[in-house]
Structure 1
Amino acid sequence: MTRRGWAGTILVAWAASLGWLARREFFRSTGTRVTEAALSVPPGAVYYRLDVGGQQVGFASSTIDTAGSSILVEDVLVLDVPALGVLHRTTAKSRATLSRALRLQDLDATVDGDIGRYSAHGTVAGDTVFSVWLVAGSDSQFTRVPLSRPIVLPTLLPLRLAFGGELKPGKTYSVGVFDPLLLAQRDVKVTIAAESTLVVADSADYDSTAMAWVAVHSDTVRAFRVEQQTGGVRSSAWIDAAGHIVRATSPVAFTMERSAFEIAYENFRHRDTARVARASAVPQVGDVVPATAIAAGVRLPASPSRSALNELRLRLSGGDVLGLDLGTGRQRLAGDTLVVRQETAAQLAARYTLPARDTSLQAYLEPAPLIQSDHPRIRAHARAIVGREGDPARAGELLLRWVADHVDKTVAVRLPSAVQVLARRRGDCNEHTVLYVALARAAGLPARPVAGLLLVDGRFYYHAWAEIYLGDWVAVDPTFGQLPADAAHVRLVRGGLASHVELARPIGRLKLEVL
């Protein structure tokens, strides 16, 4: 979608920043202390207001209940993202059972979006294997993740720091983060950066004039700033001495602040949703969509369905691009200048026939989480669309036309599943991309998802598209029906949603000047 904002990726980036699961790395020296301290973890609940640009867009809570030999942790996040005049609600819930040593025993997590539900159920066997069922609608995938060390619930990482005596400014740790919904793991660097005193609202009363709940009593809290870095993506959170988050920020101006229940939940429930939705129809500063836009120096034709832009030259400044996939394939990076060139007709002439048999491309022919290329319905549709076509470029074009013509373009905030997109036939650039990649792989055509920025009306917006292998990798945009995709597509990362957290790093800091 040309103006589809950062909404879908916020959940991925936020989950990666706060973590859904953390695998212990460098806490072994304090393991005994943590185990003993965990016996005194108190039950209770805390509530949070979620804001973007000063506007409340969500509510979150974290509840701990204790039993004789286990700890039950429930986390809830409700997010209403205003985009193009419509509120898109996503609800994420997790329920985990931990041992008294804070070791994960089992986990249930769900994400409900506009057109579907995605859930994961995982169990740990002997601290060596994490078995996960990933369910999207009526379809499911099963995988086993080998563990080298015990895994713990990430929302209890602050508790580990607090009860392990690790909240000491200047100390640094390394933690492995695993997201069961994306089946992806990455390293997180954790630094205790500072200590301060924060003010938190702990009770509220209803103000009939303001027609909202307001704080009537506040408390001061001794807190420690914990900075997290995942790849190049940075986030921070203030944690109190009891191991509860007080305030946190994500890389995309998304804030989470502890407050009284009425301020966090009741104000969110009773806000003027019609006004919020109307305001997003023409994006303003602070909204989710424009917060992801990067100003450009010139205006280009508005329609991204064109194929006229065959070269784009940009000057980059103001952001950390280390680790981004900028200078490969059709993109060339020299100093601060990036050149994107649309593939030529000669590059569309494939040097093999379908199905691809090159073993080095096997990873791009196999199913992946949410890209169910081996599903019977996906395989059947791929056969029906491609038929006996053996030319990879022509097969890619047939698949492109089918996806572009049969999937309605709607803004969505959810994890895209190829099987569900095939059934529902609607979604944004993420849905178009995962379905196209799944169909291509099912047809024997190597394909992979990519993501980055799309230049429209002088601004760059988050966008996802695909690449297919024709002897070289060629950009394909199944949302707007382009093969090859024009040079307005600036690739930043390759891979599925798990890699999209990298996109949070340059947003809000990187400046691109069209030369």
Structure 2
Amino acid sequence: MRLVRPYTLFRVSVMMAWLVLFGLLLKRDYFIDTLRQREAQVLEQHAQESFLGVYFNAARIGYVKNSFTQTVESEITLTQEAYLLLNILNEHHPVRMRGRAFLTSGYLLKEFSIHFESPFYRMDATGEVEGTTVHFVIDTGKERITDSVSLNSPPFISTNRRAYLLDASLHEDSKIKVPYFDPILLTGQDAVVQYKGRDKQIIQGRIYNLHRFVESYNNIRVSSWLNDEGLVVKEETPAGFVFIAEPEFRATEISKNGPELLSSVSVPLAGTMPDLAGRKEISFRLQLPENSVFPALDNDRQHREGDILTVTLEDLPDETAQVCQGQSAELSSTSYIQVESPAIKQMALSLIAQAPTPLEKVRTLSQWIYLNLEKRPVLGLPDALTTLGSRKGDCNEHAALFAALARSAGIPTRVVAGVTFHAGAFYYHAWNEICMGENWISVDTTKNELPADLTHIKFVHGEIGEQLKIGALLGKLRVAIAE
């Protein structure tokens, strides 16, 4: 059996951390008074620059640079640059982002361009806003995707300038709803922001009396501290990341030996994992964040009762079993699972040519992906066509490519995400499920498991937007053996 390096199993752990780090999680809340846009103050200088140092476990691992320029028409150009040096199992992975956005005087988005680059991945995107719809084009070098996102109202881009949150009528515990567009994930939703009043913070030896806000989306809470001008002085995100406003010379002094990332988002197991050989069932006791909702926990091979989750290993259907009917969504093509791509179709047909049954097709496709993808951490937005071309990736790339090939072969397939066990702890992970014989059956092409072992605990179904909901679990999920 081919050896799998630990980081290849836990791509979602890394992805979750750096996306949270950039504040790039989907924002979904549907209540509370909508933000009343304040008049933007005139910029004091023709161009203004500011820096935020990015810290992880007290070590500076990157920075974000914001530059604002105002035109004679009172429109604003935002130029943003970010750099991270991520330590993943003691290998350093630089992540770079450059972007430009044209904003109205009230910081509403008009158009943007962005370049994102990490080892083995790059993405360029451009877009513009028409009313409440953002039209965009993504180019990964392998695939060009054209799409649009419809919002409830014209979108903001979240920057370190948030004077629009400081309203004269603001009072402690008041809540506002801010429509944001994320130009990296290319998604848009409303975020609920709650004002927590004045809060004294000691930052790098100085005492500040700041305005504290807590932004909530998908049960994820990000705390921000603003000065009286609405500039972000400090921001804390899940998994231990902190942004601090500081001068350029300090923000750009990056630690070359930053703390290891994967271990920070692992979930230690309370108790001893029993020998799984021959076992058909196992029970765990889960401790989840307050008010979190994960319907997939009580679904398919998983049964939840209170804080006890029981996982039952699926029986594979016999060789004559047919695929499930009525699963059109799990057969469809999406922006990142390109079922209709000629390259995907051709590869799927060539691989399953000698597979007589649906189950044999699943085995063939799963085995081919396991053996033919170089198992490397790829920090980017996974899509099947890019992965087919690069033949590199870890669990999210494996899951996206398997979904595209299997759907092209007529097998209803979905991507799922949750945690799986390795070396004494649970790590965030992505895998697949196929529908056959009227049942959903787990498939892990990263580990070559059909069905996936009993330590795979599913929290969500779906692509990147759904997977990011498990960001709410970072630092809060607890798992214990319940036997």
C-alpha distance in structure 1 between counterparts of 2:302 and 2:475, whole Å: 22
Within the alignment, does 1:454 sit opposite 2:420 as a pair? yes
Match of 1:314 among 273, 277, 284: 284
Within the alignment, does 1:132 sit opposite 2:136 as a pair? yes
Within the alignment, does 1:170 sit opposite 2:166 as a pair? no
For 2:378, the equivalent position in structure 1 comes to 412
For 1:213, the equivalent position in structure 2 comes to none
- Paired AA for residue 77 in structure 1: A
Alpha-carbon distance change, 150 to 38 in structure 1, aligned in 2, over 3 angstroms: farther
Per-residue deviation at 1:301? 8.2
Report 1:93-492 matches (<5 A): 93-125=98-130, 127-155=131-159, 158-162=162-166, 164-165=167-168, 168-198=171-201, 221-265=208-252, 267-268=253-254, 271=255, 273=256, 275-276=257-258, 287-300=260-273, 310-317=280-287, 319-320=289-290, 322-324=292-294, 325-346=296-317, 350-352=321-323, 358=325, 360-387=326-353, 389=355, 391-470=357-436, 471-492=438-459
Per-residue deviation at 1:453? 0.7
8 A contact 1:24–1:151 mirrored in 2? no
Per-residue deviation at 1:160? 1.5
8 A contact 2:413–2:432 mirrored in 1? yes
For 1:501, the equivalent position in structure 2 comes to 468
8 A contact 2:43–2:70 mirrored in 1? no
Structure ranking higher in helix proportion = 1
Flag structure 2 segments of 5+ consecutive residues without an equivalent.
Answer: 1-7
**Secondary structure at the counterpart of residue 194 of structure 1:** strand
Percent identity between matched residues is 24
In the TM superposition, structure 1's runs of 4+ consecutive aligned residues that sit over 6 Å from their partners are 18-25
C-alpha distance in structure 2 between counterparts of 1:5 and 1:482, whole Å: 18
**Secondary structure at the counterpart of residue 137 of structure 1:** coil
Alpha-carbon distance change, 18 to 461 in structure 1, aligned in 2, over 3 angstroms: closer
8 A contact 2:11–2:396 mirrored in 1? no
8 A contact 1:52–1:254 mirrored in 2? yes
Per-residue deviation at 1:338? 0.5
Per-residue deviation at 1:143? 1.2
Alpha-carbon distance change, 187 to 105 in structure 1, aligned in 2, over 3 angstroms: closer
8 A contact 2:286–2:477 mirrored in 1? yes
Per-residue deviation at 1:416? 1.6
- Paired AA for residue 255 in structure 1: V
Per-residue deviation at 1:199? 5.4
Per-residue deviation at 1:334? 0.7
8 A contact 1:24–1:149 mirrored in 2? no
Q: Deviations over 1:339-383 (max 9, x none)?
A: 11121134886334xxx7x4x422222222322222221111111
8 A contact 2:420–2:427 mirrored in 1? yes
C-alpha distance in structure 1 between counterparts of 2:318 and 2:42, whole Å: 63
C-alpha distance in structure 2 between counterparts of 1:41 and 1:170, whole Å: 31
- Paired AA for residue 111 in structure 2: D
**Secondary structure at the counterpart of residue 155 of structure 1:** coil
**Secondary structure at the counterpart of residue 451 of structure 2:** coil
For 1:11, the equivalent position in structure 2 comes to 18
8 A contact 2:57–2:240 mirrored in 1? yes
Within the alignment, does 1:66 sit opposite 2:60 as a pair? no
C-alpha distance in structure 2 between counterparts of 1:39 and 1:414, whole Å: 37
Per-residue deviation at 1:466? 0.9
For 1:204, the equivalent position in structure 2 comes to none
8 A contact 2:375–2:394 mirrored in 1? yes
- Paired AA for residue 322 in structure 2: R
Match of 1:54 among 50, 53, 58: 58
Alpha-carbon distance change, 243 to 308 in structure 1, aligned in 2, over 3 angstroms: farther
8 A contact 1:22–1:178 mirrored in 2? no
C-alpha distance in structure 2 between counterparts of 1:372 and 1:17, whole Å: 23
Per-residue deviation at 1:46? 1.5
Alpha-carbon distance change, 375 to 238 in structure 1, aligned in 2, over 3 angstroms: same
Alpha-carbon distance change, 467 to 492 in structure 1, aligned in 2, over 3 angstroms: same
8 A contact 2:24–2:184 mirrored in 1? no
**Secondary structure at the counterpart of residue 154 of structure 1:** coil
Q: Deviations over 1:196-255 (max 9, x none)?
A: 344566xxxxxxxxxxxxxxxx87654211101112111111112222111111111111
8 A contact 1:24–1:152 mirrored in 2? no
- Paired AA for residue 112 in structure 1: E
8 A contact 1:476–1:482 mirrored in 2? yes
8 A contact 1:188–1:231 mirrored in 2? no
8 A contact 1:295–1:512 mirrored in 2? yes
RMSD of aligned residue pairs (Cα, Å)? 2.9
- Paired AA for residue 16 in structure 2: T
C-alpha distance in structure 2 between counterparts of 1:41 and 1:438, whole Å: 52
8 A contact 2:142–2:389 mirrored in 1? no
Per mean C-alpha deviation after superposition, the further-off stretch among 129-138 and 225-234 is: 129-138
C-alpha distance in structure 1 between counterparts of 2:476 and 2:440, whole Å: 29
Flag structure 1 segments of 5+ consecutive residues without an equivalent.
Answer: 202-217, 277-285
Per-residue deviation at 1:62? 1.6
- Paired AA for residue 149 in structure 1: S
C-alpha distance in structure 1 between counterparts of 2:411 and 2:464, whole Å: 21
Per mean C-alpha deviation after superposition, the further-off stretch among 327-336 and 185-194 is: 185-194
Per-residue deviation at 1:327? 1.1
Per mean C-alpha deviation after superposition, the further-off stretch among 499-508 and 386-395 is: 386-395
8 A contact 1:26–1:174 mirrored in 2? yes
Per-residue deviation at 1:167? 5.2
- Paired AA for residue 494 in structure 1: H
**Secondary structure at the counterpart of residue 135 of structure 2:** strand
- Paired AA for residue 381 in structure 1: M
- Paired AA for residue 397 in structure 2: E
C-alpha distance in structure 1 between counterparts of 2:410 and 2:212, whole Å: 50
C-alpha distance in structure 2 between counterparts of 1:56 and 1:91, whole Å: 15
C-alpha distance in structure 1 between counterparts of 2:335 and 2:32, whole Å: 26
8 A contact 1:4–1:83 mirrored in 2? no
| Alignment TM-score, normalising by the size of structure 2 | 0.89
C-alpha distance in structure 2 between counterparts of 1:21 and 1:60, whole Å: 25
Q: How many residues align?
A: 471
C-alpha distance in structure 2 between counterparts of 1:112 and 1:18, whole Å: 18
C-alpha distance in structure 2 between counterparts of 1:16 and 1:310, whole Å: 40
8 A contact 2:149–2:188 mirrored in 1? no
C-alpha distance in structure 1 between counterparts of 2:477 and 2:146, whole Å: 39
